[in-house]
Amino acid sequence: MSDEDKKFGEGSEGSFDKDHKKSSEFGEKAQSEFEKAKESTKQFSEDTKKVANGFGEGAKKTANEFSEGAKEAFAGGSKENKKILAGILAIVLGSLGIHKFILGYQKEGIILLVATVIGYVLMCVGIGFFFVMATGLVGLIEGIIYLTKTDEEFYNTYQVGKKPWF
């Protein structure tokens, strides 16, 4: 081998060693950064779990509060709630008899509902309008009566006394 080739070989060996050392350092640095990123991701995951658990607990609490409120409103948790609910439903949806079902008058509720359905069917003939108007008027009058009575009068008349109409 010539001297020139030896110099070239030694130079390339030195360059190879330098590059190998640099790449090793670069690899170690990359490994270090990877470990940092891994740790950061792990921390982010833990924080996200905490936030999600907090959100889940809040959502469950809100759902339970809503459920309890709905049960109270529809089960008649208090006299006033049932009175107001029945009165508003009588005014808004009186022809369907929903207020009767709320108060526990199934027979009367079915009568209003069937009369309304028959009225809509007979509207094709022309006389059904009167059925629908009559059931709507019954609902409106009952709604006004329900809302103008005191809580005690309403409770004694419609919930204890079970007066079905007006």
- pLDDT, tens only, 15-39: 666 766 777 777 788 788 888 888 8
Extents of the domains making up the chain: 1-75, 76-160
Query: Which residue carries 């009058």 as its tokens?
Result: 141
The tens digit of pLDDT for each residue in 78-137 reads 555 688 888 999 999 888 888 888 888 889 889 888 888 888 888 888 888 888 898 889
Query: Which residue carries 């008027």 as its tokens?
Result: 137
DSSP state, residue 95: G
Residue 129 CB neighbours (<10 A)? 13
CA atoms within 13 A on the CB side of 135: 25
Q: Sign of dihedral through CA atoms 134, 131, 86, 110?
A: positive
CA gyration radius, the chain: 40
Predicted local confidence at residue 9, as pLDDT: 54
Q: How many residues does the chain have?
A: 166
Predicted local confidence at residue 91, as pLDDT: 92
